[in-house]
Amino acid sequence: MPCLNLSTNVSLEGIDTSSILKEATSIVSKLIGKPEAYVMIGLKDSVPIAFGGTEEPAAYGELVSIGGLTPDVNKNLSAEISTILETKLSVPKSRFFLKFYDTKASYINLLSYLWKMSHCHALVAPTSDGMDPPCKFYATSGVLSRLCHELDAMYCSKSIFLL
């Protein structure tokens, strides 16, 4: 899931942010080769930013993606996103910096796993035959039941003792 977070010292009051988000989503999807349904764009305004010693309009971005990033893709993404910022927010291309993170799926899944673990509880019942104990993840909220069911399927069939 590519995620582009943009911060600028420009106020977004009176700006059509929907068009910025739509254009950025389309560009990230096209250049990285991921479906738009997986692309997330964040846009923060009025962030105190000094670039080159001045507080003239500037922007900073970070893009995290599981694959799809290469030096050529990064160059094209920088050019396309800077064009949007220049056109829509009057941020000169020379005052925009974009940082890229090509990450592994396991890093993203780890965060999801940790979140799930913090919201689910495991019941472990000892067995008299020496077999792995059966366990059951449960949630105190109906909304979390599906997540806990996934954990139950992943871990309760393995030799893991969760207390």
- Residues annotated as catalytic are 2
Q: What pairing do the DSSP bridges indicate for beta strands 40-44 and 3-8? A: parallel
**Per-residue pLDDT at 161:** 36
Rounded Cα–Cα distance for residues 68 and 27 (Å): 13
Rounded Cα–Cα distance for residues 91 and 88 (Å): 8
pLDDT tier, 83 (very low <50, low <70, confident <90, very high otherwise): very high
Domains and CATH numbers, the chain: 3-103 (3.30.429.10), 112-155 (no CATH)
Q: 97 is written with which tokens? A: 């910096």
Rounded Cα–Cα distance for residues 56 and 69 (Å): 30
pLDDT tens, 33-81? 999 998 999 999 999 999 999 999 999 999 999 899 999 999 999 999 9
* pLDDT over 70, % of the chain: 64
CA angle 51, 73, 80 (to 5 degrees): 55
